[in-house]
Structure 1
Amino acid sequence: MADFVYPPVLVAARLMFRLLDNRLRVTGAENVPARGGAVLACTHVSYLDFIYCGLGARPAKRLVRFMAKQEIFSNRIAGPLMRGMHHIPVDRAAGQASYDEAVARLRAGEVVGVFPEATISQSFTVKDIKTGAVRMAAEAGVPVVPMALWGTQRLWTKGRPKDLTRRHVPISVVIGEPMRPGPDDSCEALTTDLRARMSELLEKAQAEYPEIPESDAERWWLPAHLGGSAPTPEEAAALDRRS
């Protein structure tokens, strides 16, 4: 399919990040297939994650088609961009259609990006994940590539004011080795394995992150188990149920 919108959007995003000196570091880029279909399964800590997940695939010269909720496509500003970049709308009342569209894109050799946690993790750990990523990969006969992002939550995350003009924020993108689900494999077992891989990548990104909070007030962007003031996974789950 022709891409007239996606490349200029990526150029604009790179320019903005360069102006803000948001130091993007991608490790494991060689794990994104240079050709053929693949599912990118990414952690979710920020409203900006789809941008950085997409940039993580650029060393392989791939454009990622993200599955995103229908409401974004209905927005008068974001909608035309999402459609122009050929992302995949997800109507929760009719999810099978978007699933079938994603499988068709994968079989056609596209890279499809998903956030298996479905919503942003307010604990900044990996929540329980859905089986869709491994199911569509198995059906299409393509690999699942786990990915973790860290630092994006400092710019815009759930329950915090956005800070899109904050300068000098390091952003880490860590990409793991592909998983290759087979048609006879257990989706539940593979999903458990995928979540473990995503958690391992996230912990790696957190351990290697070049900054620590400068004050107690800044500890909000660290998970509780690392001494931060973010909600624990149990507290975050309770917040999700109330929202």
Structure 2
Amino acid sequence: MAELVYRPVIGAALTLFKALDLKIDLKGAENIPATGGAVLVSNHISYMDFIFAGLAARPQKRLVRFMAKDAVFRHKISGPLMRGMKHIPVDRNRGETAYAHALDSLRSGEIIGVFPEATISPSFTLKSFKSGAARMAQEAGVPLIPVALWGTQRLWTKGRPRNFRRSHIPVTIRVGEAVEAPTDQYAGAITRRLRGRVQELLEAAQRSYPVRPKGPEDTWWVPAHLGGTAPEPAKSRGTEAG
């Protein structure tokens, strides 16, 4: 199938990242299957996470079709690009349509990208995971691939202006070994195991991140439990519906 939009968009993104001199540190890309379907599962801290999570599959020459809320597809700029890249719109009132679309794609050998927290986490910590990714993997008979991103929130996140003028921002991407989703296990148990794996990867990414806040005004992107001033998870719940 010709990719008339996806590959040029990747090229444009890489050109932008080169111009910004982003320091992308990707480890574990060999855990992305070279062929066949899989559900790629990532934490969600930035509006740009789908780009960086998708880059995790690039060394294996795979493209990821992300599930995203349908409002993104209605936007005059992002909409045509999202449709052209064959991402999957999710209407929260008719989620079964997107679910069926994703299942068909998995069974045809595609990688489907999912953010099981559903929305950006303002605290930059993991929220609870919805079980849809595990259920899809079970029904399609494919593995779950855990991914953790760190540093993307410094580029563009909820409640903050885009930061494309500041260069040299490191972005850390960690890909873990597959989490199997056998049909004889409860989807909730698989989801808890998956979340634990993403948490481990996130902590590893945070430990290896080469930059620390430069002063009190630069602590907004660091979680409170790590000494930063990002909202506490309990306090951010009221803003997580967007």
Give the TM-score of the pair, scaled to structure 1.
0.98
Please list, as runs of the form range in 1=range in 2, the aligned pairs for 1:60-71 lying within 5 A after superposition: 60-71=60-71
Q: Which residue of 2 aligns with 1:34?
A: 34
1:121 partnered with 2:124: no
Q: Which residue of 2 aligns with 1:20?
A: 20
Larger deviation, residues 72-81 vs 129-138: 72-81
Please list, as runs of the form range in 1=range in 2, the aligned pairs for 1:93-108 lying within 5 A after superposition: 93-108=93-108
Please list, as runs of the form range in 1=range in 2, the aligned pairs for 1:160-171 lying within 5 A after superposition: 160-171=160-171
| Partner secondary structure for residue 236 of structure 1 | helix
| Partner secondary structure for residue 146 of structure 1 | strand
Structure 2, unpaired ranges of 5+: none
Q: Which residue of 1 aligns with 2:90?
A: 90
Conserved 8 A contact 2:120-2:240: no
1-structure distance, mates of 2:76, 2:239? 29
Conserved 8 A contact 2:117-2:127: yes
Residue 56 of structure 1: how far off its partner (Å): 1.1
Equivalenced residues, count: 242
Q: Deviations over 1:29-54 (max 9, x none)?
A: 01000000000000000000000011
Residue 232 of structure 1: how far off its partner (Å): 1.1
1-structure distance, mates of 2:221, 2:100? 36
Q: What amino acid maps onto 2:191 in structure 1?
A: T
Q: Deviations over 1:49-93 (max 9, x none)?
A: 000011111011100000011111111211111111010011111
Residue 182 of structure 1: how far off its partner (Å): 1.0
1-structure distance, mates of 2:77, 2:213? 35
Q: What amino acid maps onto 2:56 in structure 1?
A: G
Give the TM-score of the pair, scaled to structure 2.
0.98
Please list, as runs of the form range in 1=range in 2, the aligned pairs for 1:151-190 lying within 5 A after superposition: 151-190=151-190
Q: What amino acid maps onto 2:74 in structure 1?
A: S
Q: What amino acid maps onto 1:199 in structure 2?
A: Q
Q: What amino acid maps onto 1:56 in structure 2?
A: A
Q: Which residue of 2 aligns with 1:215?
A: 215
Residue 159 of structure 1: how far off its partner (Å): 1.3
Once superposed, what is the RMSD of the aligned Cα atoms?
0.9
1:76 partnered with 2:73: no
| Partner secondary structure for residue 45 of structure 1 | coil
Conserved 8 A contact 2:31-2:145: yes
Q: Which residue of 1 aligns with 2:194?
A: 194
Q: What amino acid maps onto 1:133 in structure 2?
A: A
| Partner secondary structure for residue 220 of structure 1 | coil
Q: Which residue of 2 aligns with 1:237?
A: 237
Percentage of identical aligned residues: 55
